[in-house]
Structure 1
């Protein structure tokens, strides 16, 4: 007998909630880079056609699409790839440990987005209507 705190029938609801919360948190990265909200000093004077600028556009558009649950699988796959590039291109070379190279968030986003690219959006998604 398996002990289940939340019945399995609620899995799509929890999956949808995870998608929405993840998208809202991820959107902050795009808005910080493109609009300065919330303000992050590192993104001052950032050019739109720079690596960080293009990343900001991907984060903003991808985050919005993920939030509403539209094109979830391909968008999540693209975002997973972006986060893999962020981790291996900016964090991994600094130190082998994600806690020390400040790449924990990029690694976690990478695998959460990979999950959505396989599992789909769950509930509360436009594409389910």
Structure 2
């Protein structure tokens, strides 16, 4: 097997689509944990829908679902990237600047992975591709 430009042209959109699907699936879990208590995360017990964390849960649930199916990938990913930047600076950065010291590594990873999807689009296996709007 030779790793030719044709190989990369074939597999890059597929792996981008897989990245989007997995990211959406993982992100939905944050929303369902906050809004429905499934899976149960004790720190979200008693969370109010009309609070900053409640709004985050709605973004995570709806945005994660849209990413999972690949609908409006670019604008959704851009919004979620901003959400994660805000989460990092509000929840993690006050404890310490470096993510390794403040527990914010995943917030940073989500932020920049969403930013990548905002630029690259949804890849293969997306409703955006079916609609003919590559990552719209």
Sort the TM-score into its range (normalised by shorter chain).
over 0.9
Alignment of 1:36-47 (within 5 A): 36-47=37-48
Q: Which residue of 1 aligns with 2:109?
A: 108
> TM-score scaled by structure 1?
0.94
* Change in CA separation of 1:42 and 1:75 when aligned onto 2, cut-off 3 Å: same
Q: Which residue of 1 aligns with 2:55?
A: 54
In the TM superposition, what is the alpha-carbon distance from 1:100 to its structure 2 partner? Answer: 1.8
Alignment of 1:16-55 (within 5 A): 16-55=17-56
In the TM superposition, what is the alpha-carbon distance from 1:49 to its structure 2 partner? Answer: 0.1
Alignment of 1:1-129 (within 5 A): 4=3, 7-9=7-9, 10-129=11-130
> TM-score scaled by structure 2?
0.89
Deviations 1:97-123 (A, max 9, x none): 212211011100000000000000000
Cα distance in 1 between the residues matched to 2:30 and 2:21: 15
RMSD after superposition: 1.5
User: 5+ residue gaps in structure 2?
Assistant: 131-136
User: 5+ residue gaps in structure 1?
Assistant: none
